[in-house]
Structures are given as structure tokens and as C-alpha cells.
Chains A and B, each alone.
Chain A
Amino acid sequence: MDLRLSDEQRAVRATFAALFRKESTPQRVRIAESTGLDKDLWRTYSAIEALSIGIPSDYGGSDGSLLELALVAEEAGRCLAPIPVAETAAAARLLARLGEKELLAPVLNGSSIVSLATRIAPVGDQLLVDGAIADAVLALDGKALLYVTRPDGQPTIPRRNLGGLALARWDVDTTGRSLAEGAQARTEFAAALDEVRVLRAAALVGLALEAVHIGSEYTKVRKAFGQPIGMYQAVAHPFADSLSALDGAQLLVHKACWALEGGQDDGPALATMAFVFAAETAYQATQHSLHVHGGYGFTEEYDIQLYYRRAKAWAVAFADPQRELLVLADRRFGPALTGGH
């Protein structure tokens, strides 16, 4: 039992915290809303070998674990970094598990963005989370795990959306290249989705912690009826519930990383818990943090609205959190014997 981060993990966290503070300012986050990607940040992110962190050294990586990636995702979340973090990291690790050295090389040097099509459906039938910026996606379609490259002429401008996501559809009917079939395809793709759950959870924890910081700082300086509004318990106390839940969400993320990495039976259930709990907590934290700003909170010039919008968008980019509770039930209690309710 040891709940401390190692010195190396602390160093990873500090490095990325500094990077995002410098290169993912609210101004740059706003600019990237229309493009879905801050290209300069992506270049820096690739140059410091962020994408290699969770990859074995045999494949050109630095042998880090899912936990290091979660620390990066949390710091990215704190600054709303307009780059693809979760699906790309999971996709890179999936390529490594499948032994796809050649496909992985351009991913690790940042020249190719490979993401995931997280719905288990044909690629052409879904809005892709990184659709406007990805060069290829990995998808589970029927029996095969496919590598689908972006067809020529597909949109590079995201659909306008709530959370600054690089959403786009690809008009593809080609099946792409099969990397695995049958049980192996399903197992490996499911493992990648669990990593997305954990990394999205980590990003939401970072996002919500910063939202609580922004909201609570505002309540120290904003006065009403002659005193800082943070002195009113109705204003202050919801922050305590958010902090408690965020401590819990962070612990769930860390435990899920540890359990998935070690192949523990409960890893997938913990990953689902981390996702649901982080998603719900991030919404509550950003909702209150925006609310305490009064009317200013929903003006565009205040940063808190950027957090509020992404708290929802970054969660449903993967799944409806409420529906994920049924996934958790299957994982913890076994599948329902009849057709459900």
C-alpha cells in the first residue's frame, strides 16, 4: 500500500503543468474553439515526447504507465488544453499492444494523429471526437478492429459545438485495414475504451479542480451586502462537496490505473466508476463555480464558461454517464438475466 506518486511521476506532472500553464492560456483556448486544435501546442506536446509516455521502449516509448498518462490528462484538463489527449493516448497504446510498430512511429513523433472511433459502429455512422484533426482512427466494426485512414476531401473544420471538440463525420464506406479479428479485436478494443474512461476522468478532475479554484477565488473578492460572498455558506459550502468528491475522483482514477495496469479483475469496473464519478462531479463543480459569478459567469469574457461547457462536452464525448452506471452494474454484479426493466 502506497498512495504517493513516485518522484518521476511528480516530475511528469510538474513538467506538463508548466507546459499547459504557458501554452494553453484562456486566450489560446478561445482561438482554438473554431479549429479544434492548437497546432503550436500540439507540436510542443509531441516534441517533448508526450505521446511516447505510455508506450513500451521496444516500440520507441519511455515505458511509462497509464498513471503517468492520467497525470498528463489531469494537467491538460486544468488548462482546457485544445489538443487530443485521451483517445490518442489510448489509440497509441492499442497500436503497441497489437505490435503495429510502423503505424506507431509517425504517431509518436507527432506527424500523424491517430484517434479512436469510440462508438462500436461503422466509422461513417458516427460523429468522430477528433474527426476534424485525425489522420486515422481505430474502430471496432463487426468482427474486426480496423485502422481507417482519413479519406481525401474530408472536413478539417470541426462542426460548431458546445465544447470546442474537433467533431466531424467522415464519409467513408471503405472498411479500412484490419489489425485484429474476433475475440482479440474485442478484448483489445475494450481495453482501449477503459483507458479512455480513465483518461477522460482524469481530464475532468483537472478541469473541475481549476473551476473550483476560479470560482472560489472570485467569491473572495466579489462583495455583496457588505462582505465577500464567500462568507455566505450557501455560496461557500458547495465548494466543499466538490473538493471532497474531486479528491475521491482522483483516487478512483489512480486506483483504476493501478488495477488496469496490473490486469486486476476489478480494473474495468473501477475505470467505469472513475468516468461516471468524475463526469458528475465536474458538472456539479463547474455549475456552482459559474453560478457564483452571477451574471458575469455567462458572459463570454469570463473564463468559467469555458469550463462549464467542457465539463459536459468532455464527458459525453465518451458516453452518457448515467448509462455507464449500467455498464458498471454488469461489471460488478454480472449481466442482468432478463431483458432489464
Chain B
Amino acid sequence: MDFAEPANWGRIRSDAEAFVAEHVTREVIENERRTGDGVERALTRKLGERGWVAPTWPVEEGGAGLDPFEAAVLLGALRKGGVPTIGPGTTMLPANAIKATGSDELKARILPSVAAGETLICLGYTEPAGGSDVFACATRSEQDGDEWIVNGQKIFTTFAHVADYCFLLTRSQVGSVGTRGLTMLLVPLNSPGIEIRAVHTMGHERTNVVFYNDVRVADTNRIGEAHQGFSVMRSALEAEQNVAPGSRTQWIARDTLEFARTQPGPDGAPLINDDLVRERLARMAMEAEVADLLGLRVAFLDSEGEKPGPVSALFGPESYVRASAAAIDIAGLSGLLDWTDPEAPVDGGLDFHYRSAVATTIYGGSSEVLRSLIVENRLGLPRSRPRR
């Protein structure tokens, strides 16, 4: 066993840091905090020029030819530096599904511009009534010659307002239920009949409700076979569950440590000298190490073709939520100040983490769904959700 970082990771990280130093101005960071768009078009094109939108794809396909570890190192460094990565990162889930199951024509039309950072694709799975039960999908699609007509409503379609396409889950067979009778469509978001309304989150992200009213979509934008959308979805969903959103636990552990080293406690001495604080900081550091190791193993097993179940996707966000709550307790009133306040310690980071953490236990598959998958796959426990 060898936990040593390969030498090229350091090189990838410093390349990313150089990119950040050149392109990520304070204005970029503040703009993202104000808008919550999750993507910056010009910056995404610059990522594309380096093959960093699709880093694991071969260079000749517009990628950077990185292995899953190297890609995780790259994206971690970019995100840490303030590059809005939600847009390009999310785009890669449907892009990989298109790569696996799309027609040759669709692949040739879409994938090169995805890799170049020109084309952004958002995810249209969740519906107001569905939540974690994505296969309760009620958005209808009906074939009409060489087109599909789409009617329905999706929610939590993050960055729909700046994306080019939506990777849309639709119910194409009347009367079908659950995973049967679904069709995946790549819907151009400038199509007539689409209405996008903003939803703002307490974590300063912007997401959207998207209405589809008699939207016409060319059959050439169908991904995979008609009525077989489940198998297309499954490959994209598995990718989401297996790639934990990195360890944000390490991020907050470092922010809280910096806070404790620089801020006085109730007795005027730096917080870091208080055993009650030290114990909690140590626990954060320990859970952050676990979250990082579980994430590293996902990338490792991915490269070995094994799947350990979504244990990393469960532990990482859950530990982030625990740490974000402990950090606020430690920090007291000055930890409540947000980043717009010039006195806010660690750039308002603790307020930011507490606002952001909860959503991470939901959006890549809620913790409860992940727990069910883990006990079913690893322990062979009976399925608890009703079958349709």
C-alpha cells in the first residue's frame, strides 16, 4: 500500500493554482457569491482550452487525458481557488451518458463543444412532487413524427438560466410507472414554450423551476432508445453517487482552525488554547481525513472498475454538516457575520459553510436513499422502498 501522492499531482495542483491566480479575480469570486450561478461562461471556455472541462477524456477528444485521481486533484484545486465548477462539473454527467449511449450524430454534435467549455447541460430530473423518487417522473413526452412534444415541470434545475441544454427525464409511455416507459431528451433551453423561474437558496445558490409547455424537441436529440431512458439515467446517476462532491469537511476543518488560531475566546486568549475547542477541532480533522480517504478510494476503485457503494457520498456530506454546526458553536457571534462584512473572520467562511452544508446531504441522492442502497448492496438487506 502506498498513500504517497504521485509527483504529477503536485504539478496538476500548481497548474490549477496558476490558472486561478491568472483568471480568478476577487470580482469573479464576489460575482459568484452574489449570483449563485455556479458557472462563469468565459472562465469555462478557458478551462475548455486546457481540456479541463472533460479532464478524463483523451486529449484528441478535447480532454486532458487525466486519470480519475488526477481529475479529482484538478477539480479540487480549481474549486478551492474559487472557480465556479458546478456548471461544468454537472455538464459532465449527461456528457458521459451521451458518450455511452447517444447516437453517433449526437455525440459528434455535442461532445466536442462540451469539452471546449462552449456547451453547458443542466439536469432535469427532479419534479416538485417527486423529490428523491426521481422515477416518479410525470413530465410527459409524446412522439410526433420526427419530434417529441414535452409538457411538464421540473424543479431544482440548477444553472438552467445559463445552460444551453437540459438533460431531461420524461415519461413517454402513457400509463407506465416507475422505471419503465421513460425517454431521455436533450432539450435546447432556447426552445419556445420553456419558462425558467429563479429559486434562491439560503446558501446563496440560484436554482430554478422550469416549465415545459408544448416544447418541440427533435428526435435526433433523444439519448438512447425511446422508452429505455432508465438505463441512460442509471449510468449518469451512478456517476453522481460514486463521485462524492469532494471533501468539504477538510475545507471547513481548515477554516475553523484558522478562525481558532486568530480569534480570541471569551477569556481573551486565542480559542486554539481551549481544550473544549481543541477537542472539536480534532474531531473535525479526523472526520475530514476519513472523508478524504473515502473519496480517494472511490477514485481508486473507479480506476480498478470496482464500486464500494455510496459510502463516501454518505459520510462526506454528513460529516460536513456536523462540522459546520460545531464551527458556528465555536465561533460565536463573529462567526455569524457574512462575507460582505469587512470584519467577518475567514472571509465569512463559517456562515457560508453552515448555509451550504445541509444541501450536500440531499442533492447527490439524499442520505436516506444512499443508506438504503448501502445496506441493500453490501449487506443484502431487503428493499424497503415499495416496488412499482
- What is A's interface to B at a CB cutoff of 8 Å? 1-6, 9, 67, 212-213, 216, 219-220, 227-228, 230-233, 236-237, 239-241, 243-245, 247-249, 251-252, 254-255, 257-259, 270, 273, 276-277, 322, 325-326, 328-329, 332-333, 336-338, 340-341
What is the CB-to-nearest-CB distance from B96 to chain A, in angstroms, rounded to a whole number? Answer: 23
Question: Do B274 and A244 have beta carbons less than 8 Å apart?
Answer: no
A1 touches B279 (CB 8 A): no
B46 to chain A, nearest CB (A): 29
When distances are taken between beta carbons in the complex, the residues of chain B under 8 Å from A247 are: 294, 297, 308, 311
Q: Are A237 and B372 in touch, CB under 8 angstroms?
A: yes
A328 to B315: give the CA distance in the assembly, Å.
21
Tell me, rounded to whole Å, the shortest Cβ–Cβ distance linking B314 to chain A: 5
Whether A341 touches B274, Cβ cut-off 8 Å, given contacts A5-B1, A233-B368, is: yes
For B300, the chain A residues whose CB sits under 8 A away are 1, 3
Name which residue of chain B comes closest to A246, CB basis: B311
Given contacts A237-B372, A237-B375, A239-B375, contact A341 B275 (CB under 8 A): yes
* 25 A-B interface contacts by CB (under 8 A): A1-B3, A1-B5, A1-B300, A219-B381, A230-B375, A233-B368, A233-B384, A236-B371, A236-B381, A237-B368, A237-B372, A239-B381, A240-B371, A251-B297, A252-B289, A257-B1, A258-B2, A277-B290, A329-B275, A333-B257, A336-B273, A336-B274, A338-B273, A340-B273, A341-B276
Q: Which residues on the A side are within 8 Å of B5 (C-beta)?
A: 1
Q: How far is the CA of A255 from the CA of B286 in the complex (A)?
A: 13
Once the chains bind, are A220 and B382 in contact (CB under 8 Å)? Answer: yes
B320, chain A: closest CB distance, angstroms: 14
CB-CB contacts below 8 Å: B205-257 with A: 257
Contacts of A257 in B (CB 8 A): 1
Chain A: minimal CB distance from B361 (Å): 12
- State the Cβ distance, A7 to closest chain B Cβ, in Å: 13
Q: Which residue of A lies closest to B279 (CB)?
A: A325
- Determine the chain A residues whose CB is within 8 A of the CB of B257 once the complex forms: 333
Q: A233-B372, A244-B314, A251-B297 are in contact. Are A273 and B3 (CB under 8 A)?
A: no
A3 and B296 contact, Cβ closer than 8 Å, known pairs A326-B275, A326-B278, A336-B272: yes
What's the minimum C-beta distance from A212 to chain B, rounded to whole angstroms? Answer: 7
Q: Which residues of chain A are within 8 angstroms of B311 by Cβ–Cβ distance?
A: 240, 243-244, 247-248
Task: Give the nearest-CB partner of A322 in chain B.
Answer: B279
Contact A237–B282 (Cβ < 8 Å): no
**Do B381 and A216 touch across chains, with their CB atoms under 8 A apart?**
yes
A329's partner among B282, B291, B304 (CB-CB below 8 A) is: B282
B358: A residues at CB distance < 8 A: none
Q: B379 to A216, Cβ gap below 8 A?
A: yes
CB neighbours of B276 from chain A (8 A): 341
Contact A328:B368 (CB < 8 A) given known A336-B272, A336-B275: no
Q: Does B6 contact A (CB under 8 A)?
A: yes
CB distance from A148 to the nearest CB of B (A): 33
State which residues 273-305 of B face A: CB under 8 Å: 273-276, 278-279, 281-283, 285-286, 289-291, 293-294, 296-297, 300-301, 304
Q: Which residue of B lies closest to A249 (CB)?
A: B290
Which residue, of B3, B4, B273, B309, has the highest number of chain A Cβ atoms within 10 A? B3
Complex interface: chain B residues within 8 A of A213 (CB): 379
Q: Which 9 A-B pairs have the closest CB atoms?
A: A248-B290, A240-B371, A329-B278, A244-B311, A240-B374, A251-B293, A340-B275, A237-B371, A341-B275
B281 neighbours in A (Cβ, 8 Å): 329, 332-333
B108 contacts the other chain (Cβ, under 8 Å)? no
Contact call A270/B289, Cβ cutoff below 8 A: yes
**Bound Cα distance A216, B379 (Å):** 7
Min Cβ gap B316→A in Å is 9
Q: A248-B293, A333-B257 are in contact. Are A254 and B1 (CB under 8 A)?
A: yes
Known contacts A255-B293, A277-B286, A341-B275, then 6 further A-B pairs from the complex at CB < 8 Å, ordered by chain A residue: A3-B301, A230-B375, A247-B294, A251-B293, A328-B282, A341-B276
Assuming A252-B290, A336-B272, is B379 touching A243 (CB within 8 A)?
Answer: yes
Residue B125 lies at the interface, judged by CB distance under 8 Å to chain A: no
Residues of B near A240 (CB, < 8 A) are 311, 314, 370-372, 374-375
In the complex with contacts A326-B275, A332-B285, A333-B281, A243-B374 CB distance below 8 A: yes
A244 touches B374 (CB 8 A): yes
Interface positions of B (Cβ within 8 A of A): 1-6, 69, 257, 269-270, 272-276, 278-279, 281-283, 285-286, 289-291, 293-294, 296-297, 300-301, 304, 308-309, 311-312, 314-315, 318, 368, 370-372, 374-375, 378-384
- List the B residue with the shortest CB-CB distance to A238: B371
The verdict on A340 contacting B384 (CB below 8 Å), with A3-B297, A276-B286 known, is no
Q: How many angstroms between the C-alpha atoms of A259 and B293 in the bound complex?
A: 14
> Which residue in chain B gives the minimum CB-CB distance to A2?
B2
Which residues from B are CB-within-8-Å of A220?
Answer: 380-382
B375 touches A236 (CB 8 A): yes
Cα–Cα, bound, A6→B370 (Å): 31
Q: How far is the CB of A220 from chain B (nearest CB, A)?
A: 7
Query: Does A67 contact B275, Cβ atoms closer than 8 Å?
Result: no
Whether B6 lies near A1 (C-beta < 8 A) is yes
Task: List chain A residues, Cβ under 8 A from B272.
Answer: 333, 336
* Chain A residue nearest to B311 in the complex (CB): A244
Cross-chain contact A337 with B273 (CB below 8 angstroms):
yes
Q: Which chain A residues lie closer than 8 Å to B273 at the CB level?
A: 336-338, 340
Give the distance to chain B from A231, nearest Cβ to Cβ, in Å.
5
- In the complex formed, the residue of A with least CB distance to B296 is A3
Q: Which residue of chain B has its CB nearest to the CB of A276?
A: B286
User: Could you tell me the distance in whole angstroms from the C-beta of B158 to the nearest C-beta in chain A?
Assistant: 26
On whether the beta carbons of B371 and A233 are closer than 8 Å, the reply is: yes
Contact A236 B3 (CB under 8 A): no
* Given A233-B372, A251-B297, A337-B273; A259-B384 close (CB under 8 Å): no
CB-CB under 8 A for A245 and B290, given A1-B300, A240-B370, A325-B279:
yes
Decide: A243 near B279, CB < 8 A? Known: A3-B300, A237-B368. Answer: no
